[in-house]
Structure 1
Amino acid sequence: MGESRDSRAMFTFLALWVRPVMNGLMGKEWHGQEKLPVGTGMIVCPNHVTEIDPVVVGHFLYNQGVMPHFLAKASLFKVPVVGWILRTIKQVPVERTSAGANRSLEAAREALADGGGIIIYPEGTLTRDPDMWPMKGRTGAARLALQTGAPVVPMAQWGAHELFPRYAKRFYLFPRKRSRVLVGDPVDLSEFRDAPLTRTTLDAATDRILDAITELLAELRGEEPPAERWDPADKQQKRMGRNVGAQDDDKNPGEPLTGGEP
């Protein structure tokens, strides 16, 4: 199996203008491409620090010959033109109903069977950690991995937040920024494969995935990660959505992104 002709044609069309733009905006420092599984679908789990991360990750994967498939809000599929494009390139609609969740799982299975990469941010949204380390995760990536047997590839990326800071209103083009990506070995989830999909199992598998991402990000940043992962619930933060009082909103990327509620 593989990507349909229409899907590949649309990916090629989009890449004709996305890749030159990304190459112009950011230099590339990419490592670990050889660790991407060959000839099979995969679940790619990156860290999430800014709204343009999907473009960076999609650019990286497409350049490695992996067709990127993101989980997208189901409402986007109803938007004229946008919905048609999303359906053509087999992006995965996410719905809140049980029936919708089953459809999402089936769409994800099809993309994996076609040898594509399903990109799932284990954090579920932009990190709330004030120093931009991966925060406590959600279990979707672990659940899909354990249900399908697909390999989970951890990925760390850094630098896109300097071009477009988290919750910013504009791009910071100068000086030219650098996209840094590091791919790790597939996460070993073998001990969870035959276990019941309980909350305990899924939380443990999710922590294993986030540990791998955090280790890669620490290598990219040349810094030690915090001893304890940031948990929005413990900080009385909303997990989803933009916080109005964000201190780092549209902040000059030359300034440290610290303090306040992201």
Structure 2
Amino acid sequence: MGESAKSRITFTLLASVVRPAMNLMMGRRWEGMENLPKGHGFIACANHVTEIDPLVIGHFFYSQGILPRYLAKASLFKAPVLGPALRATKQVPVTRGGSGAAASLAAAQAVIDADGALIIYPEGTLTRDPDLWPMKGRTGAARLALQTGAPVLPVAQWGAQDVLPRYGKMLHLFPRKRVRVLVGRPVDLSDLHGVPLTKTVLDEATERIMAELTELVASLRGEKAPAKRWDPAAKGQRSAGRGYNGETEKTQ
């Protein structure tokens, strides 16, 4: 039995447990499926508001007949229970520097070449924005997109934070919540392909990805996004705990 067949069987077994549980915990509404590429791999950039986001996004893609592959910290592959599951489902370990980085890129490229979906959280972690808007992105997703040439699809989700609040420890199951996932059109990075990957180029590509993603989140929320994305590295925001307009950060 080939590696891909083993991976699909493992996905099927896990999905038979996880998906019914997800359906019990929350209603769902999938939108924008017409924007999913047909017959070739792509990178999906999703917003990140709570620890169960990967289950939501994975549920969505599996429902479309697409096996989701995530970029995950290499250390997670050594965890007692999670590690074997990540390896069995062919998730992509992220190792920085040297041969490890080259191996990560090769693994990501293999997913795309196999017409798969490589899922990345371009913020790099749960949003620190006090109102859960997408914050300033990191350049890793943009770099990978420009290195592989894969199309980038923004994928917004909203509602999972009502089931498990950001940094929460307890599920809020009643009343039953609803989660929505909205897929946008591919981000236009065509003019940035084939040029040196300078900081300026990577920042521009990242900004385009985050702008499209934020617009989709605003559509799901029915609200206007802040004019400026939260930057956890900005001294005033980090030390004073203040938001965009000088307002005190809300407690989640």
Structures share a fold, TM > 0.5? yes
1:192 aligns with 2:198: no
5+ unaligned residues in a row in structure 2: which ranges?
A: 242-247
C-alpha distance in structure 2 between counterparts of 1:80 and 1:222, whole Å: 41
- Find the counterpart in structure 2 of residue 110 from structure 1: 110
- Find the counterpart in structure 2 of residue 158 from structure 1: 158
Deviation, 1:73, is 1.7
Deviation, 1:97, is 3.2
Contact 1:42 1:117 in 2 (8 A): yes
C-alpha distance in structure 1 between counterparts of 2:120 and 2:237, whole Å: 22
In the TM superposition, what whole-angstrom CA distance separates every residue of 1:37-93 from its partner, at most 9, and x where no partner exists? 011111000111111100000000110111101111212222345323212211011
C-alpha distance in structure 2 between counterparts of 1:69 and 1:102, whole Å: 18
Contact 1:128 1:261 in 2 (8 A): no
C-alpha distance in structure 2 between counterparts of 1:157 and 1:233, whole Å: 24
Contact 2:131 2:250 in 1 (8 A): no
Contact 2:70 2:120 in 1 (8 A): yes
C-alpha distance in structure 2 between counterparts of 1:134 and 1:180, whole Å: 16
C-alpha distance in structure 2 between counterparts of 1:237 and 1:210, whole Å: 19
Contact 2:127 2:134 in 1 (8 A): yes
- Find the counterpart in structure 2 of residue 225 from structure 1: 225
- Bigger mean CA offset, 96-105 vs 146-155: 96-105
Q: Give the direction of change, closer, same or farther, for the CA distance of 1:51–1:82 in structure 2 (3 Å limit).
A: closer
Contact 1:61 1:67 in 2 (8 A): yes
- Find the counterpart in structure 1 of residue 121 from structure 2: 121
Name the Cα RMSD after superposition.
2.0
Q: Give the direction of change, closer, same or farther, for the CA distance of 1:117–1:228 in structure 2 (3 Å limit).
A: same
C-alpha distance in structure 2 between counterparts of 1:82 and 1:218, whole Å: 33
Residue 205 of structure 2 aligns to a residue whose secondary structure is helix
1:69 aligns with 2:69: yes
**Mapping of residues 139-218 of structure 1, within 5 Å:** 139-218=139-218
Identity %: 63
C-alpha distance in structure 2 between counterparts of 1:66 and 1:225, whole Å: 30
1:130 aligns with 2:120: no
Letter in 1 for 2:218: A
**Mapping of residues 53-68 of structure 1, within 5 Å:** 53-68=53-68
**Which of the residues 246, 249, 252 maps onto 1:259?**
249
5+ unaligned residues in a row in structure 1: which ranges?
A: 239-245, 247-257
- Bigger mean CA offset, 133-142 vs 82-91: 82-91
Q: Give the direction of change, closer, same or farther, for the CA distance of 1:230–1:3 in structure 2 (3 Å limit).
A: farther
Deviation, 1:261, is 7.2
Deviation, 1:235, is 4.3
- Find the counterpart in structure 1 of residue 244 from structure 2: none
TM-score normalised by L of structure 2: 0.91
- Find the counterpart in structure 2 of residue 94 from structure 1: 94
Contact 1:3 1:116 in 2 (8 A): no
Deviation, 1:192, is 0.4
C-alpha distance in structure 2 between counterparts of 1:169 and 1:82, whole Å: 18
